[in-house]
Amino acid sequence: MNTLGYFLVTLPEIRTIADLKGKVLGIGLGRDLPYAHLTRILRDNGIDPKSEVKFLPLGGGSGGYISALKAGRVQGSMIIPPNHLVAGKAGLKVLTKIDVATLAGGLNTSQPLLDKSRELFVRFIKGYLEGIHYMIRNRRESLKSFAKYLQNSDPAVNAYLYDDITSRIEMELRPTHEAIRYMLDLIALDHPQAQKVTDKDFWGLSLLDDIRKSGFIEQLQKN
């Protein structure tokens, strides 16, 4: 996916992002993407994330953030869907949703292994693409798989997750310039040298190019 949606979840008394000034905000144990997006939101709303809020690292993922919010240890935190539905049921406020151009998912390997086993990777990606097309065209079966493998029996949560993924997923697995650039710009906030990196430096799409030329994508779309 080339976009992600995050939810800024707060205590009920927080009415606007400006109300977060001077508050304690829950973040992950490292500088992850939710942290980067949260600091961007604060800056865009005139709040200096370095001096006008306090960040409290929390473990436990979204569940840990929600627990900390309910206990009053923090007043706000970024929550990934569909956990914002759980937060809402717990009486917390979903203050705002943001959609950002950023890479989500993806397949990574080393160049030597790719050079050695190129045909293996072609077959793997074809199977991966077939899975994507099956998911999009078979909602009922996909929701059953979501419930099984995510170990979540809440149909509303699974339906939201399915709809969100299928609305964002790239049918040919191709990253966009905007998604790559956004991530590099976020990294550059702490490491300015990232501004010199381009979207061509670490992404190799030759396998996808070969698969497209073979007619495999067109055949998938016809089936």
Domains of the chain: 3-101 (3.40.190.10), 111-222 (no CATH)
pLDDT tens digits in sequence order for the chain, 223 residues long: 999 888 999 999 999 999 999 999 999 877 677 887 888 889 999 999 999 999 999 888 888 899 999 999 999 999 988 889 889 989 999 999 888 888 888 778 888 999 999 999 999 999 999 999 999 999 999 999 999 998 888 898 899 999 999 999 998 999 899 898 888 887 887 789 988 988 888 777 889 999 999 999 999 988 7
CB 132 within 8 A of CB 208: no
Angle made by CA atoms 67, 43, 82, in degrees to the nearest 5: 35
All residues at 6 or more sequence positions from 61 whose CB lies less than 8 Å from its CB, including other chains = 28
Q: Tell me what pLDDT residue 19 has.
A: 96
pLDDT (tens digit, 9 = 90+) per residue, 25-74?
A: 999 877 677 887 888 889 999 999 999 999 999 888 888 899 999 999 99
pTM of the predicted protein model: 0.74
Positive or negative, the CA dihedral 201, 176, 163, 67 is positive
For residue 166, CA distances in Å to 19, 26, 161, 171, 198 come to: 34, 29, 9, 9, 28
Amino acid of residue 48:
D
Closest Cα to residue 25, out of 1, 2, 48? 48
- Distance CA(167)–CA(159), nearest Å, equals 12
Q: Tell me what pLDDT residue 12 has.
A: 96
- The helix-helix angle for 118-137 and 206-213 (nearest 10°) equals 70
Burial of 39 (0-12, 13-18, 19+ CB in 10 A): buried
